[in-house]
């Protein structure tokens, strides 16, 4: 824990400041986007006019070339790619044999928090107060979701911005509203957490969240949402009372997702390295942890697919008169479930074939080792999918913040979705996030395979089916962006 | 919040704005603030706001319309309150998101009637949402003022509690286009429309109207809603075609225009369309050059016309529109100008109806319906900036002028105004004979 001493309080304070600045800049940036637009018909129209076929071919080629370069890259370089430029506080260096405790979140650090590190707990309590106020505002405030602080906090602040910023800047775990209360309430846990459950409860919580996102009739309706937030809070706090702070890293699904994406940040646990080095710095997840990674991708993929004309055509809905979410509850539930089941199966098949090609005969270990490599794909797609929503919803969030604090009137605009040039810039930025995510995923999976097999030739052989999977997934991701959408 | 119950010396009353509501949340420690807004007015005998449950398309397929409908509605409420409100009481919009979803909107009717104690419901554009919510409004005996332009109100499909007094219906709009198309553009028409109910309304109503004038629809080309390339359909346009009538909507519209331009080149027939295709789309966008010299129906002119009366300018200023029909804060943010005026006019009809029946509370809901049913001619002016209206109490549908504009220099210039008489058709229902 030398690294912990080195990072110390100064580092924590520095991060708090960095987070505050980034939030402010991101929110301001959303409002001051050049040219200064909502999911808008004309945006989809301009996208259809762009040469997206060519762009998609270019993106696919980029990923394919990455595959070839990796196969050709000397193993020494490949191993060195994810070595941190500066070591941090948690985790172990690449190549370490013993994984640090807890695949999700720094619960090695969390252990400190339970006792000596209560100094930072006030942040958690303050955030909890803020969340409590937002829930109250959800029930008592304006019921228009673009005016209500709770709807904006959950779907814009957390789901769009906080997820994105976690992957870019590191784990915001200090901002968790539950860490302080759980540390207090769970000081004497009633039960010992059954470790055989692994991250299963967190996975269940995340899938429940995904069902609200994709299946629920009115997820942004403030007073309904208040109930859902309370239910989630009760889940986390009850688990915390029963099992103690370990529950935060086993059952708090949303915080766990943030922690997963945080490993893609160049900054992770106080260290610095190539984005994704945090994945390499950790050990091999258990089955539930591995499935969590794949669920992140499955949910993201269906989030994109369910809006396309193609999907709506499959389920017999006219996209030009989409009759609302109540009409697609059944199909969306089935689609989400299928997506989260099919993806691990296809991924598993690619792993199995690769394992045979490499002659390793340990497909289970390979599955668990390589599953985190899909995180950059899921994260890249999150950035791309929510880019336009961030630009619009970010303005609504600013509008409400400004109203609350007596600032100037913020007039929401969607003008930048109504000119071809700005739509092209946005689309290319989205495509870059998708392609970038896949390139990073390939680098990660190659480095993980090298660690798994220890031998360059076998690593390359084991990667062939997975590389093909990723190239095809790139094309799928870009097709999603280019497709006409109707819901 | 006592200001809401006072009338200022200038004769204005102030309703609780959203900004105030949010500020109230910010100082949530006080006892008053812990009560919902309606509860805080419950003790006041006079000056308590009249609560209008606004079902807004905040999310879903109608969200781009919802944002502008909200903006217009807020502006109308502000104007009405500045002029003294309704019988001295301010109007207050109680906005909820209907998700552009019929089921959700039906739930909102319940919420408006029972939970948030609204005096009436006010709802916007998409027809399926209105059709889904109207039966619930009737069960709850909640007046439901819709701004959807669908023919479902006047067709007799709905009920006594549902009215459309602020925007004309598609049937009258389409019918009114036929004389201009026939007399000015050509007598042999090819129609291109999306292959579902919206397109069929245009197909059936226009075909009947043009035939009645002696013209002919020489081809009806229905295009599947999921289509994104249209080149294979253009060869189906007969050579004898003098006018193309198009009502394509959705993300494929820009591609449709571009491919039609490429198909015809410089020699094309006359082209007439409904601005629904390009509502909120900047006409000077690259790719839309082909539309130069073509014609569009507009519910209300998007571009400020040289001869626009003062009250039109006042309406546009109140909403925050520039001369091109975009937001004054962002020239690229083009409004849904052809339809959104309906919110403004509907709210003014509600005001007039309440004043006519001396509305005092929810016990007068039925009286409000009866008062509006009694309305007939409404003059053009600040309350009706789109033009003079004639309300038909039997069919619960309003009739008004329609505009035909030509694309000139990337802007729309009005070249013909269809009169109210051009839009009329025989009654299909008499709601006044239905019980409440």
Tell me the DSSP string of A170-185.
Answer: ---GGG-TTHHHHHHH
pLDDT at residue A375, rounded to an integer: 96
Question: Is the CB of A404 less than 8 angstroms away from the CB of B26?
Answer: yes
Distance in Å, alpha carbon of B126 to nearest chain A alpha carbon:
8
Residue B164: strand pairing partners: B397
- Which of A33, A39, A41 best tests the B interface by mutation, with the highest count of B CBs <10 A? A41
- Section A292-320 average pLDDT: 93
Element (H, E) at B412: strand B411-418
Question: Is the CB of B97 less than 8 angstroms away from the CB of A321?
Answer: no
pLDDT at residue B270, rounded to an integer: 95
**Residue A300 pLDDT > 60:** yes
Question: Is the CB of B334 less than 8 angstroms away from the CB of A220?
Answer: no
**Cβ–Cβ < 8 Å for A356, A463:** no
Span of A61-75, A217-231, B258-272, B325-339 with lowest mean pLDDT = A61-75
3-state secondary structure B249-281: CCCCHHHHHHHHHHHHCCCCCEEEEEHHHHCCC
Query: In terms of Cα–Cα distance, which of A304, A436, A432, A445 is closest to A374?
Result: A445
**Residue B418 pLDDT > 80:** yes
Distance in Å, alpha carbon of A314 to nearest chain B alpha carbon:
11
- In chain A, what residues touch B112 (CB-CB under 8 Å)? none
- In chain A, what residues touch B253 (CB-CB under 8 Å)? 41, 45
pLDDT at residue B316, rounded to an integer: 98
Distance in Å, alpha carbon of B273 to nearest chain A alpha carbon:
17
Strands A271-272 and B188-194: unpaired
Average pLDDT of the residues of chain A: 83
pLDDT at residue A41, rounded to an integer: 52
| Contact A144/B at CB under 8 A | yes
**Residue A11 pLDDT > 50:** no
Length of chain A: 487
**Residue A22 pLDDT > 50:** no
pLDDT at residue A445, rounded to an integer: 93
Cα(B294)–Cα(B243) distance, integer angstroms:
10
What number of other Cβ atoms are within 10 A of residue B164's Cβ? Answer: 28
Question: Please, what are the domains in chain B?
Answer: 2-168+339-400 (3.40.50.2300), 171-298+401-423 (3.40.50.2300)
Tens of pLDDT, residues B327-355: 999 998 999 999 999 999 999 999 999 99
Average pLDDT of the residues of chain B: 89
Tens of pLDDT, residues B69-109: 999 999 999 999 999 999 999 999 999 999 999 999 999 99
Question: Is the CB of B25 less than 8 angstroms away from the CB of A140?
Answer: yes
Residues contacting residue B212 through CB under 8 Å, at least 6 positions apart: B178
pLDDT at residue A9, rounded to an integer: 45
Residues contacting residue A130 through CB under 8 Å, at least 6 positions apart: A177
- Section B211-218 average pLDDT: 95
- If 0-12 CB within 10 Å is exposed, 13-18 middle and 19+ buried, where does residue B118 land? buried
pLDDT at residue B126, rounded to an integer: 87
- Section A198-226 average pLDDT: 94
Question: Is the CB of B21 less than 8 angstroms away from the CB of A142?
Answer: yes
- Section B208-226 average pLDDT: 94
**Cβ–Cβ < 8 Å for B51, B94:** yes
Question: Is the CB of A415 less than 8 angstroms away from the CB of B126?
Answer: no
Question: Is the CB of B18 less than 8 angstroms away from the CB of A403?
Answer: yes
- Section A20-31 average pLDDT: 37
CA distances from A192 to A104, A181, A189, A196 (A): 18, 18, 7, 11
Strands B389-392 and B377-378: antiparallel
Cα(A154)–Cα(A172) distance, integer angstroms:
15
pLDDT at residue B40, rounded to an integer: 37
- Section B151-161 average pLDDT: 94
Contact pairs from chain A to chain B, CB under 8 Å: 204
- Which of B18, B24, B61, B150 best tests the A interface by mutation, with the highest count of A CBs <10 A? B61
Query: What b-and-e string marks burial along B41-78, b requiring 16 or more CB atoms within 10 Å of the CB?
Result: beeeeebbbbbbbbbbbbbbbbbbbbbbbbbbbbbbbb
Most confident range, picked from A61-75, A308-322, A411-425, B170-184: B170-184
**Residue B414 pLDDT > 90:** yes
Tens of pLDDT, residues A372-400: 999 999 999 999 999 999 999 999 999 99
pLDDT at residue B186, rounded to an integer: 95
ipTM of predicted complex: 0.82
- Which of B59, B75, B92 best tests the A interface by mutation, with the highest count of A CBs <10 A? B59
**Residue B5 pLDDT > 60:** no
Three-class DSSP category at A81: coil
Tens of pLDDT, residues B353-372: 999 999 999 999 999 999 99
pLDDT at residue B24, rounded to an integer: 60
Tens of pLDDT, residues A164-191: 999 999 888 888 899 889 888 878 889 9
Question: Is the CB of A420 less than 8 angstroms away from the CB of B63?
Answer: no
Tens of pLDDT, residues B104-140: 999 999 999 999 999 999 987 888 899 999 999 999 9
| Contact B253/A at CB under 8 A | yes
Query: In terms of Cα–Cα distance, which of A466, A485, A453, A433 is closest to A62?
Result: A433
A-chain residue closest to B22, CA distance: A404
pLDDT at residue A88, rounded to an integer: 63
pLDDT at residue A469, rounded to an integer: 93
Tens of pLDDT, residues B375-388: 999 999 999 999 99
pLDDT at residue B22, rounded to an integer: 62
Q: Give me the residue from A217, A309, A413 closest to B329, CB to CB.
A: A413
**Residue B38 pLDDT > 80:** no
B-chain residue closest to A135, CA distance: B25
- Section B284-305 average pLDDT: 91
Element (H, E) at A268: strand A267-268
DSSP H helices in B265-364:
310-319, 337-356
- Section A346-354 average pLDDT: 96
- Section A13-24 average pLDDT: 40
**Cβ–Cβ < 8 Å for B291, B264:** no
**Residue B182 pLDDT > 70:** yes
- Give residue B12's pLDDT band: very low, low, confident or very high (50, 70, 90): low
pLDDT at residue B281, rounded to an integer: 86
Span of A83-92, A117-126, B256-265 with lowest mean pLDDT = A83-92
Distance in Å, alpha carbon of B297 to nearest chain A alpha carbon:
19
**Cβ–Cβ < 8 Å for B402, B167:** no
Q: Give me the residue from B97, B228, B281 closest to A484, CB to CB.
A: B228
- Section A99-125 average pLDDT: 52
**Residue A27 pLDDT > 80:** no
Question: Is the CB of B104 less than 8 angstroms away from the CB of A414?
Answer: no
- Section A455-474 average pLDDT: 92
**Residue B249 pLDDT > 60:** yes
- In chain B, what residues touch A46 (CB-CB under 8 Å)? 254, 285
Distance in Å, alpha carbon of B433 to nearest chain A alpha carbon:
32
Span of B32-46, B115-129, B300-314 with lowest mean pLDDT = B32-46
Distance in Å, alpha carbon of A408 to nearest chain B alpha carbon:
11
Span of A89-103, A137-151, B60-74, B100-114 with lowest mean pLDDT = A89-103
In chain A, the percentage of residues whose pLDDT exceeds 70 is: 85
What number of other Cβ atoms are within 10 A of residue B355's Cβ? Answer: 12
pLDDT at residue A86, rounded to an integer: 77
pLDDT at residue B17, rounded to an integer: 62
Q: Give me the residue from A48, A136, A146 closest to B254, CB to CB.
A: A48
Strands A271-272 and A267-268: antiparallel
| Contact B329/A at CB under 8 A | yes
Tell me which residues of chain B, numbers 171 to 230, contact chain A at a CB-CB cutoff of 8 Å: 194, 196-198, 225-226, 228
- In chain A, what residues touch B99 (CB-CB under 8 Å)? 217-218, 324-326
pLDDT at residue A301, rounded to an integer: 94
pLDDT at residue B45, rounded to an integer: 41
Q: Give me the residue from B95, B250, B281 closest to A143, CB to CB.
A: B95
| Contact A36/B at CB under 8 A | yes
Distance in Å, alpha carbon of A421 to nearest chain B alpha carbon:
9
Residue B326: strand pairing partners: B334
Tell me the DSSP string of B105-167.
Answer: HHHHHHIIIIIS--SEEEE-S-HHHHHHHHHHHHHTT--EEE----TTTTTT-S-TTEEB-SS
Tell me which residues of chain A, numbers 48 to 87, contact chain B at a CB-CB cutoff of 8 Å: 48-49
Q: At what angle are helices A420-453 and A375-385 packed, to 10 degrees?
A: 170
What number of other Cβ atoms are within 10 A of residue A226's Cβ? Answer: 22
Question: Is the CB of B101 less than 8 angstroms away from the CB of A324?
Answer: yes
């Amino acid at each position: 824990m030398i690294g912990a001493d080195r990072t110390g309080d100064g580092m924590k304070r520095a991060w708090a400041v960095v987070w505050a600045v980034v939030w402010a800049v991101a929110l301001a940036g959303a409002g001051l986007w050049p040219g200064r637009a909502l999911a808008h018909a004309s945006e989809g129209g301009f996208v259809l006019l762009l040469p997206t076929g060519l762009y998609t071919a270019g993106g696919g080629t980029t990923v394919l070339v990455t595959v070839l370069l990796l196969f050709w890259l000397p193993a020494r370089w490949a191993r060195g790619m994810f070595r941190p430029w500066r070591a941090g506080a948690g985790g172990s260096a690449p190549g370490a044999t013993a994984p640090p405790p807890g695949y999700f979140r720094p619960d090695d650090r969390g252990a400190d928090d339970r006792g000596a590190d209560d100094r930072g707990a006030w942040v958690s309590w303050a955030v909890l107060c803020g969340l409590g106020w937002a829930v109250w505002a959800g029930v008592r405030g304006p019921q228009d979701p673009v005016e209500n602080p709770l709807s904006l906090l959950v779907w814009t602040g957390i789901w769009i911005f906080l997820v994105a910023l976690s992957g870019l800047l590191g784990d915001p775990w200090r901002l968790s509203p539950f860490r302080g209360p759980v540390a207090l309430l769970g000081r004497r846990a009633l039960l010992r957490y059954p470790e055989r459950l692994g991250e299963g409860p967190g996975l269940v919580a995340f899938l429940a969240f995904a069902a609200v996102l994709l299946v629920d009739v009115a997820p942004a309706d403030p007073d309904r949402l208040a109930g859902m937030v309370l239910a989630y809070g009760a889940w986390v706090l009850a688990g915390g009372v029963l099992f103690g702070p370990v529950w935060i890293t086993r059952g708090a699904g949303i915080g766990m997702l943030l922690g997963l994406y945080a490993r893609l940040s160049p900054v992770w646990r106080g260290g610095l390295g190539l984005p994704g080095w945090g994945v390499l710095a950790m050990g091999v997840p258990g089955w539930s942890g591995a499935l969590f990674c794949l669920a992140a991708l499955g949910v993201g993929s269906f989030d994109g697919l369910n809006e396309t004309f193609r999907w709506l055509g499959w389920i017999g809905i006219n996209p030009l008169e989409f009759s609302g979410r109540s009409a697609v509850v059944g199909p969306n539930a089935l689609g989400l479930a299928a997506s989260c089941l099919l993806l691990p199966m296809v991924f598993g098949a690619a792993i199995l074939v690769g394992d045979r090609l490499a002659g390793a005969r340990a497909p289970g270990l390979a599955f668990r080792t390589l599953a985190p490599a899909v995180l950059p794909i899921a994260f890249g797609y999150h950035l791309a999918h929510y880019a336009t929503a961030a630009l619009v919803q970010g303005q609504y969030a600013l509008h409400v913040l400004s109203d609350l604090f007596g600032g100037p009137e913020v007039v929401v605009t969607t003008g930048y979705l109504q000119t071809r040039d700005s739509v092209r810039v946005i689309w290319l930025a989205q495509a870059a996030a998708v392609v970038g995510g896949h390139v990073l995923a390939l680098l990660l999976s190659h480095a993980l395979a090298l660690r798994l097999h220890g031998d360059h030739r076998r690593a390359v052989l084991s990667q062939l089916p997975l590389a093909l999977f990723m190239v095809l997934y790139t094309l799928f991701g870009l097709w999603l962006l280019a497709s006409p959408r109707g819901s | 919040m006592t200001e809401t119950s006072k009338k200022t010396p200038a004769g204005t009353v102030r309703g609780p704005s959203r900004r105030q509501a949010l500020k109230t949340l910010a100082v949530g420690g006080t006892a008053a603030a812990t009560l919902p807004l309606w509860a805080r007015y419950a003790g006041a005998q006079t000056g308590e706001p009249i609560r209008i449950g606004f079902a807004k398309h905040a999310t879903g397929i109608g969200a781009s319309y919802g944002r502008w409908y909200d903006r217009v509605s807020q502006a109308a409420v502000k104007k009405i309150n500045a002029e003294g409100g309704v019988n001295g009481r301010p109007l207050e919009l109680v906005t909820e998101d209907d998700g552009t979803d019929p089921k959700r909107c039906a739930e909102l009717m319940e919420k408006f009637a029972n939970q948030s104690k609204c005096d009436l419901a006010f709802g916007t554009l998409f027809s399926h949402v209105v059709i889904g919510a109207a039966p619930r409004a009737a069960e709850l005996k909640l007046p439901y003022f819709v701004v959807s332009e669908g023919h479902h109100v006047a067709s007799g499909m709905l009920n006594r509690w549902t009215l459309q007094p602020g925007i004309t219906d598609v049937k009258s709009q389409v019918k009114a286009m036929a004389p201009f198309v026939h007399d000015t553009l050509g007598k042999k028409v090819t129609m291109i429309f999306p292959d579902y109910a919206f397109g069929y309304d245009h197909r059936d109503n226009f075909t009947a109207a043009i035939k009645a004038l002696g013209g002919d629809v020489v081809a009806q080309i229905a295009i599947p809603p999921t289509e994104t390339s249209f080149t294979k359909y253009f060869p189906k346009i007969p050579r004898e075609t003098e006018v193309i009538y198009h009502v394509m909507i959705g993300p494929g519209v820009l591609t449709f225009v571009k491919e039609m331009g490429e198909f015809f080149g410089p020699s094309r027939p006359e082209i007439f369309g409904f601005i629904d295709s390009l509502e909120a789309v900047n006409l000077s966008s690259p790719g839309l050059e082909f539309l130069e010299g073509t014609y569009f129906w507009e519910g209300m002119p998007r571009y400020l016309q040289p001869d626009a009366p003062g009250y039109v300018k006042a309406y546009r200023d109140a909403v925050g529109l520039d001369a091109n029909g975009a937001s004054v804060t962002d020239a690229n943010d083009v409004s849904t100008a052809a339809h959104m005026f309906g919110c403004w006019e509907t709210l003014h009809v509600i005001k007039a109806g309440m004043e006519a029946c001396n509305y005092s509370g929810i016990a007068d809901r039925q009286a409000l319906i009866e008062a509006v049913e009694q309305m007939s001619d409404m003059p053009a002016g600040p309350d009706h900036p789109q033009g003079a209206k004639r309300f038909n109490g039997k069919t619960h549908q309003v009739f008004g002028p329609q505009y035909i504009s030509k694309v000139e220099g990337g802007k729309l210039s009005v070249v013909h105004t269809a009169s109210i008489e051009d839009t009329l058709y025989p009654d299909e229902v008499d709601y006044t004979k239905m019980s409440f």
